[in-house]
């Protein structure tokens, strides 16, 4: 069986953890026998009880690991910390801690890997995807960014800012970069396109989070995306 590391960054998610544990338990049951799943929780400098709640629930996941940043380093840094601990796996997956994408989507994504894909991403902006309850202003910004990337790259893909993905581990190093914020996700995807990885989008439903609040800094994230867009136009490294 193949080894699958599932990296879940968590920052001040004490309200979301019970829901996350429940949904990951269901996913684990469906993966066992087909894959050897390993959940990697990265507590990105939480100031609430996220780490303590994760620790109390660790027994639910026999091969789980909790990594901790002493201070908040942002989403990209948390994902890279998880990746560094997962390089012996066959595949690496990313999941949101707020379950805005149902974790069970990993099963459908793995089918695409089994069929030969190198890199699989969820895609709520795909013609067959859906968005439910997400604030219009946030949806507008995300869609505009994805459309802009699609035009600049001359790409067929629809969603560039979704974090939930699976990649073959031996292909992960070339698509990493220096960004530590939320724009890391888009930069990683663009590098995969540039490297001509076999990429598959899985149409998915994006839902509004039920617990807690988003930690994204909108203005800083937009600024980071604008830098990426400028670099693409100028032909510079991301």
**pLDDT value, residue 214:** 83
Q: Which of 159, 146, 163, 161 is nearest to 97 (CA)?
A: 163
Considering the chain, what percentage of its residues have pLDDT values greater than 70?
A: 100
SS3 30: helix
Could you report the per-residue pLDDT of 33-74, keeping only the tens digit for each?
899 999 999 999 999 999 999 999 988 898 899 999 999 999
List, in sequence order, every residue forming a beta bridge with 44; answer none if it has no partner.
Answer: 69
213: three-class secondary structure by DSSP:
coil
Query: How many residues would you count in the chain?
Result: 238
Print the SS3 string covering 85-121: CCCCCCEEEECCCCCCCCCCHHHHHHHHHHCCCCEEE
Q: How far is CA 167 from the centre of its chain?
A: 11
pLDDT confidence of residue 218: 83
How far apart are the C-alpha atoms of 157 and 142, rounded to whole Å?
Answer: 14
Q: What is the Cα–Cα distance from 6 to 70, expressed in whole angstroms?
A: 21
| Nearest Cα residue to 74 out of 122, 17, 9, 13 | 9
Q: Look at residue 212 and tell me whether its pLDDT is greater than 80.
A: no
Residue 80 CB partners (closer than 8 Å, separation 6+):
176, 180, 184
Give per-residue pLDDT as tens, 126-161. 999 999 999 898 899 999 999 999 999 999 999 999
Band (169; pLDDT cuts 50, 70, 90): very high
Mean pLDDT, residues 104-110 taken together: 98
The full set of domains in the chain, from first to last, is 2-234 (3.90.550.10)
The two tokens of residue 183 are 């724009």
The DSSP result for 140-201, as a single string, is: HHHHHHHHHHHHHHT-----SS---EEEEGGGSGGG--S--STTHHHHHHHHHHHTT--EEE
Tell me what the pLDDT averaged over the chain comes to: 95
Among 34, 43, 40, 38, residue whose Cα is nearest residue 16: 43
Backbone Cα Rg of the chain: 17
């Amino acid at each position: 069986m193949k080894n699958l590391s599932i990296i879940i960054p968590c920052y001040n998610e004490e309200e979301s953890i019970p829901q996350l544990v429940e949904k990951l338990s269901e996913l684990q049951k469906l993966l066992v026998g087909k894959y050897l799943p390993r959940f990697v929780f990265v507590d990105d400098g939480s100031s609430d009880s996220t780490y303590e709640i994760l620790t109390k629930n660790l027994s639910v996941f026999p091969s789980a690991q909790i990594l901790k940043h002493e201070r908040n380093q942002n989403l990209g840094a948390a994902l890279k910390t998880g990746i560094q601990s997962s390089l012996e796996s066959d595949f690496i997956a990313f999941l949101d801690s707020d379950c805005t994408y149902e974790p069970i989507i990993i099963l459908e994504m793995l089918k695409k890997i089994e069929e030969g894909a190198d890199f699989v991403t969820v895609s709520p902006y795909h013609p067959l995807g859906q968005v439910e309850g997400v604030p219009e202003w946030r949806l507008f910004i995300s869609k505009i960014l994805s459309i802009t990337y699609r035009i600049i790259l001359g790409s067929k893909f629809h969603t560039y800012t979704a974090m939930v993905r699976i990649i073959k581990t031996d292909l992960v190093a070339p698509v990493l970069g220096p960004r530590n914020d939320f724009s890391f996700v888009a930069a990683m995807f663009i590098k995969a396109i540039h490297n001509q990885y076999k990429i598959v989008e899985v149409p998915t439903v994006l839902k509004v989070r039920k617990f807690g609040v988003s930690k994204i800094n909108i203005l800083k994230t937009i600024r980071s995306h604008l830098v990426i867009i400028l670099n693409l136009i100028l032909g510079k490294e991301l």
